[in-house]
Amino acid sequence: MADDPQLRVPVLTGPLLPLLPPKPLSRQLPALPTRGSDAAIAAGWTCESLVIPAAYPRSFRHATKKPDEPSPDPTRGSTPKPDLTKGFGRLLETAVDSYTRPVRLEDEDELERQQQLIIVGNRYRPPASRRVAARDAGPGLTLVLSHANGFYKGETARTDLVRARPFTEVWEPMLADLLAELEQRQAHPVEEIWSLDCALQGDAAVLNEDVIGSTYNWAENGRDLLNFIAYHLDSQDDQVPQLRAADVPPDVGHLDKVSTIDPGPADPMKRTYRQRLIVGIGHSLGGSATAFAATACPSFFSSLILIDPVLAPPHSSSPERTAAVAMGALRRRGVWKSREEARRQFKAKPFFQSWDPRILEGYVQHGLTETAEGSVELKARPFYEAVTFMDVLSSASRRATTRLSSLTRNLPLHYIFAEEGRSMLPEPATTYLVSEATPHATWTRVRGAGHLVSLEKPRETAVCVADFLEKTYPAQRTRPTEAKL
């Protein structure tokens, strides 16, 4: 244990690295899958996918590589059975090096070497007439969703019949139940929903394939979220990737500075950014991303919902756990002859049997991509998942939790946890979150759910979200359209 390189890694403190304007792309992006605009979550809603620059620069070395450099993926060696133990060792050493030498803006050579990553976002919107009517009563809610490790923001497929539209992504069943629940309660309206890919997963991973490096720090997920909200929330679909908004104050990119750490009003209805009430919703890895973002720029958010977030207590660390989850991901099967074969294998495994069937089918259809050889493989390749899991000594997770302790009480925060004893983290970590890190927060549990709460129990998760939103944003019991009669 004394020779374990992980023990050299500190838990970083201090501000997040500022956001600079994105670099020009060094590669031609492949086209996104063709899809129609109809959304599966509610009648009349539409969905479009947009390509958005990720945060630049990356905060840690080895996060990107040049397109002509070989892939660091140890599962793609020249031998039929690559030595994954040695491959893991190389990845660990690289991660330790990057974590112990974080990037500074003065590192001109490093910034020059870095490649521009992108993320992909799905934007869901109700009919235009409904958006206008809702706006007459004040800003509606903008939900911004960040997914768990190994998943994706999703795709949306088109059919001609509303009832036949398939759910094709991990969030959509929960969103459909949520919108129906809010409609029934005549709650404050949702005017827009964004579901974002992590840069190493989903469509973003496919588009970034040639430049993905060998390290990933969870703080980057939070910076990507901030970069999106600050500069691209009003994106249009006429540029790939999207251009930065020109009217954002210049100091916004200086994250964690005094000028940006404005606690904001105590009334959630007055906590607007760019005339929006932004609700950050993050699951697992996405929960830590949302925590990083909200602690850097709390005034961006009107409220937060963290679903079984991976937020380790500041003084916990487990080198064995890092190795176990990362090696487990590397050993995971990532290629199948067909979607049918993948579906059969998934259905035979207890891990997938707990999922809502709609989400599992969406995972088969859109969590996989076709290869040049005619097979299918995970968009979130085992290597990408392993690199993301390799949060050495839980340093990034612990950093996010430490930052949460300074979160303003003006910002409403709600946790949705798995059933007791079934969260990713042990129960003492959950207790620490609600009693010490954020004692002002509220929380609920979803009975019968494991860590993948919203995948296993989308209806129950939607009810928990609706309960919080209804309480946080009291609405008049008259629809905006009715008020004009």
Spatial distance between the Cα atoms of 234 and 52, rounded to a whole number of angstroms: 11
Q: Is 60 exceeded by the pLDDT of residue 298?
A: yes
The pLDDT, as a whole number, for residue 483 is: 38
Beta strand 413-417 with 141-146: parallel, antiparallel or unpaired?
unpaired
Mean pLDDT of 39-60: 92
The pLDDT, as a whole number, for residue 2 is: 52
The pLDDT, as a whole number, for residue 78 is: 55
From 62-76, 135-149, 338-352, the region with the lowest mean pLDDT: 135-149
**Confidence tier at 134 by pLDDT (50, 70, 90):** low
CB distance 256 to 292 below 8 Å: no
The pLDDT, as a whole number, for residue 336 is: 94
CB distance 184 to 178 below 8 Å: no
The pLDDT, as a whole number, for residue 363 is: 84
Q: Which tens digits make up the pLDDT trace of 433-483?
A: 999 999 999 999 999 999 999 999 999 999 999 999 999 999 864 444 443
H-assigned helices in 263-394: 285-296, 319-330, 339-348, 350-353, 357-366, 382-389
Spatial distance between the Cα atoms of 360 and 346, rounded to a whole number of angstroms: 8
**Confidence tier at 72 by pLDDT (50, 70, 90):** very high
Q: E strands along 57-138, which residues?
A: 118-125
**Confidence tier at 158 by pLDDT (50, 70, 90):** very low
All domains of the chain in start order, with CATH: 5-483 (3.40.50.1820)
Q: Is 60 exceeded by the pLDDT of residue 291?
A: yes
Q: Which tens digits make up the pLDDT trace of 165-204?
A: 444 567 989 999 999 999 999 999 999 999 999 999 988 9
Spatial distance between the Cα atoms of 458 and 471, rounded to a whole number of angstroms: 20
The pLDDT, as a whole number, for residue 83 is: 85
The pLDDT, as a whole number, for residue 128 is: 80
CB distance 279 to 469 below 8 Å: yes
Q: Which tens digits make up the pLDDT trace of 84-95?
A: 888 888 988 999
Q: What is the CA radius of gyration of the chain?
A: 21
CB distance 195 to 201 below 8 Å: no
Mean pLDDT of 200-226: 94
Maximum CA pair distance of the chain? 74
Cis peptide preceding 250, ω within 30 of 0? no
Q: E strands along 114-256, which residues?
A: 118-125, 141-146, 190-196
Spatial distance between the Cα atoms of 221 and 297, rounded to a whole number of angstroms: 14
Q: Give the DSSP H/E element, type plus range, for residue 68.
A: none
Q: Which tens digits make up the pLDDT trace of 123-133?
A: 999 988 676 55
Q: Which tens digits make up the pLDDT trace of 389-408?
A: 888 778 899 999 999 999 99
The pLDDT, as a whole number, for residue 166 is: 47
Q: Which tens digits make up the pLDDT trace of 4-45?
A: 767 777 778 889 999 999 999 999 998 876 666 777 799 999
Spatial distance between the Cα atoms of 94 and 110, rounded to a whole number of angstroms: 15
**Confidence tier at 152 by pLDDT (50, 70, 90):** low
Q: Is 50 exceeded by the pLDDT of residue 157?
A: no
CB distance 226 to 177 below 8 Å: no
- By C-alpha distance, which of 216, 95, 203, 198 is closest to 148? 198
Q: Which residue has the tokens 């958010």?
A: 301
Other residues' Cβ atoms within 10 Å of the Cβ of residue 263:
13
From 49-58, 153-162, 315-324, the region with the lowest mean pLDDT: 153-162
Spatial distance between the Cα atoms of 272 and 234, rounded to a whole number of angstroms: 14
Q: Is 70 exceeded by the pLDDT of residue 258?
A: no
**Whole-number mean pLDDT of the chain?**
87
